[in-house]
Amino acid sequence: MSNIIFTHKENMELPLDYEPCMDYQAKAMADDMVRTGECLNWDHAYESSWDWLESQLGWEKKNG
């Protein structure tokens, strides 16, 4: 664990183009899929979300 101490407020601000990590997005998508009834099992919804996110990432890399 690092002992970094932030002394300026601007060091703690996220950049304007910040996106949450893919795991956060997959969990949020899974929560939504279970909440709406699209999936009954959260684990299945989570894996499905990861599959979709990875396919989108592959498409973005391929088509830039």
| φ/ψ (deg, to 5) at 5 | -115, 125
Structure token digits, residue 21 = 């990590």
Tell me which of 7 and 19 has the higher pLDDT. 19
* Residue 64, helix vs strand vs coil: coil
Residue 5 confidence (pLDDT) above 60:
no
pLDDT in tens, 18-55: 677 899 999 999 999 999 999 999 999 999 999 999 99
* Residue 1 pLDDT class (50, 70, 90 cuts): very low
Q: Look at residue 47 in the predicted model and tell me its pLDDT.
A: 97
Q: Look at residue 57 in the predicted model and tell me its pLDDT.
A: 85
